[in-house]
Every structure is written in structure tokens, then in C-alpha cells.
Amino acid sequence: MAENLAQQRRRALRQMCEASGVRRLVVYGNAWTCDYLRYATDFAPLEGHALAMLDDSGVRLMLEVRDELERARVEVPDISSEWAPDFHEQARAMIASSTAQCAYAPGNAMPRGLAISLSGSVDFSALMQSLLMNKLEGEIEQVRRAAGLADEGYEIFKHAVREGRREYEVVADVEAFFRSRGCPDNFMIMASGGREVRAMHPPGARQLQRGDMVTTELTPCVSGYYAQICRTLTIGPASREQQRAFDTHLQALEAGLSAIRPGVTADLVATFQNDVFRSCGLGEYTTSQYTRVRGHGLGLYVDSAPAILEGNSMVFQDGMTVIVHPNGYHPEAGYLVLGDALVVRQGGNEILTQTPRQLFSV
């Protein structure tokens, strides 16, 4: 019988453990940091702590919230799951139950209650991150499907944005659409207004007005894999300033897309984008006061490595899935977003999101 994607991932992880001499791997997750755990178990927690232990005898999954145990038994029936109301104590006991060489991931998210029992173990985070970044073809296909859904979601967003509606009502329409398509999760933030807008955020009660610039990033999930699209629209015709700001962002996006290929660094891709702003006298707006990153990896998490930032020497490789997005503040128009998801390919990148790169007006 052919392996499913979860089985393929677990085999890849097992091979990496064997090659590293690791007999036992402890993987932590919660609703925020879920990608390592989903890779290892195919389970993404929604509430509380979760910890998996993988060794020769199989996979054990420990869950802090009882409601999550019920879900795990249905969603990942091949894994032995248990409820751990005294999570840290029970997880420490599980970790101490074997003397085999132990490794853990992800180190930066590990709670102190578990970290103290992992001292002396191997931090497996970097190796596991390489599995998360360098995708199997089956994983790329899921990101491709998620990108198609992101395009459809943006069409819904465009129809949902109307003068007088509140931001959270727009989000409700988009989320309902994704649920109707069997998509259980979507990361979405937005903003509306003018030059005063400095960033996107969860929706507020602000009522949309004529002349607003409305930004969003949609990040739907298919089989655990996220793809993202960033677009901006105006309510009513775009002003000259809004169009000029958009044109600069479009130029920056195209510069980033032209730079990204296997073998180049995240630093270079960010620099190509930032140079466009610098050449327009907008260099000040490339700092963390006005923007965050110029793109990032996509996969089992909405914002994975590598972060596309100046100074990041991480090298892109064939098969990585990322978004390039020169999102940031423009002094004439406010916060503006534009970005497309793609697969980095040796023979030419595959752009996954197909929504036209234009400043839409509704």
C-alpha cells in the first residue's frame, strides 16, 4: 500500500534520527508552534501543551487539554494518545522512562517545565527545520492547493469589502468561505484606512469608508500546509498617491521575485526589494519600525524559516515554498501589502498564487 504524506514525513524523520544516532526524539507543540509536532505526528494542537515521543516502539502523544485527546483519537488513530492534566510532571516522567539517547525540538519553544528534564539531550531543532523547509513533492502539492484556495479567498474578500461594513464582518465572510471548502484554519490579518495605518492586525469594529486602502494577508491551510497571498484594494478609485505607492511595492515585489532562486541568500532577496524603496528615497521605511520581513517560508506553519531579511545568510534551495512580500508603510498612502507564494525551482520558480498583481478598487 502506498505511503500517505504523514507516513512519508515520519519515515524521513526516522532516517534523519538514525543518521544522527538519535534513538528517541521528543517533539513539543502548541497552537502557536505546531509545525514540528504536525510533521512528526500529523496532529496540530488547538489548545494547551502537546508533547510527542518517537522511538523504536512507536509514537506516544501527550496532551494537556482533555478535549484535544478526543480529537487526537479520531484524527490520528495510529498514534497512542493520552491526556496529561498535570502536563509537565507527566511529560517529565515520560521523558525519564527511557535511557536511550534523546533529542528534542523545537528548542526555542520548549517550556521550562520540560527543558529542565532535557538538559544533556541533543537539540534537534536545526536538523528538523531542514526537513520542514526542504519539502517532499507531496508537501509541495498541498501548498499548491492551499495557494489556489488563497486566490479564491481573495475573491471572497473583494466581494466582502463594502463601504459601511465593519472589519470583523469582512473576516467572518472569508472564514466562512474557507470552512465551507473544508479548510480548518486560516491566518488572516487586515487593516483599513489611510496614512495613519502602520500595520495589519486582527479585525476591529472600524467601518470601512470610501477612499480607504484595505489590506489583507490570507493564509489558508490544506492538510496542514499553509500558503499565503497579500493584496491591497481601495474603496472607490485609487488616489494618485495610493497608486504611486502601490507601483513602488509592485516594483519591489518583482525585484524580489527576480532575485530568488536556488543558491541565493535570504539577505540578497531582501536587499533587492529594499533597494527599490531606497532608490525612491524611502529607505527609512525598510526598518523594523515600519515593516517586519520581506517574506518568509511557508509549510506546516504560516511563517516559517527562512525569514527574508537583510542579514539572514540562509540559502534558498530547490523545492522550498515561500512568499515574497515587500509589505510596509508608505508615507503617502499608509500600510500597503503585496505578495505571492512560490516554489523555488532550479529551472525557474513556480508562482503559486495567481491573483493579478494590481491595486484593486471596489
Partner 1 sequence: MRRGWMDWDPAEVPEDVMRDRIALLAAACCDLDVDALLYYTSFPRPAQVSALTHFVPFWSQALLVVTKSGSSMLAMATTGRTVQWIKRVSLVDEVIVGTEIGASAGQWLYAQTQARRVAIASPDDLPQSAYEGLCRALPGAAFVETGSWWQEFEERFGPTPYVSRTAMEIAESALALVCSVVWRDANALVAALDGHCRAHGAEEVSVKVAPDLLRDPTPYRVEGLLNLASNFGVRITLAYKGSWLRSGSSFVSDGQTTVEHPGCVDALRALRASALCTRNISSLVESIQVASGARVPDWNVEGRRGGLPLATLNTCDIALCDVAPSFASFSARIEPSGTPLIFSTAL
Nearer to partner 1, 151 or 217 (CB): 217
In this chain, which of 127, 136, 172, 314 binds partner 1, going by CB under 8 A?
172
Report the residue count for the chain. 362
CA atoms within 13 A of residue 296's CA, in its CB half-sphere: 19
288 binds partner 1 (CB under 8 A): yes
- At closest approach, how far in Å is the CB of 106 from partner 1? 10
CA distance 21 to 102: 9
Query: Of the ranges 129-137, 176-184, 264-272, 351-359, which one interacts with partner 1 (CB under 8 A)?
Result: 176-184
Q: Are 336 and 217 in contact (CB under 8 A)?
A: no
Give residue 155's Cα distance to chain centre.
21
141 binds partner 1 (CB under 8 A): no
Strand partners of residue 322 = 297, 342
Residues whose CB is less than 8 angstroms from the CB of residue 253 and which lie 6 or more positions away in sequence, other chains included: 273, 324, 325, 326, 338, 339, 340, 357
188 binds partner 1 (CB under 8 A): yes
Query: Of the ranges 3-11, 259-267, 287-295, 350-358, which one interacts with partner 1 (CB under 8 A)?
Result: 287-295
Nearer to partner 1, 31 or 264 (CB): 31
CA distance 118 to 107: 10
232 binds partner 1 (CB under 8 A): no
In this chain, which of 1, 21, 99, 108 binds partner 1, going by CB under 8 A?
108
Report angle CA 99, 103, 107 to the nearest 5 degrees.
135
348 binds partner 1 (CB under 8 A): no
- At closest approach, how far in Å is the CB of 315 from partner 1? 22
What is the per-residue burial (b if ≥16 Cβ within 10 Å, else e) of 264-300? ebbbbbbbbbbebbeebebeebbeeebbebbbbbbbb
Nearer to partner 1, 189 or 351 (CB): 189
Q: Are 299 and 132 in contact (CB under 8 A)?
A: yes
109 binds partner 1 (CB under 8 A): yes
120 binds partner 1 (CB under 8 A): no
Instruction: For residue 331, give the nearest of 206, 260, 241, 236 by alpha carbon.
Output: 241
- At closest approach, how far in Å is the CB of 200 from partner 1? 9
Pick out residues in 296-325 that bind partner 1 (CB under 8 A): 302
Nearer to partner 1, 106 or 256 (CB): 106
Nearer to partner 1, 82 or 163 (CB): 82
CA distance 314 to 293: 14
In this chain, which of 121, 129, 142, 186 binds partner 1, going by CB under 8 A?
186
88 binds partner 1 (CB under 8 A): yes
Residues that bind partner 1 (CB under 8 A): 30-32, 45-49, 64-67, 70-71, 73-75, 83, 85, 88, 107-113, 115-116, 167-169, 171-173, 175-189, 198-199, 201-205, 223, 288-292, 302, 329, 335
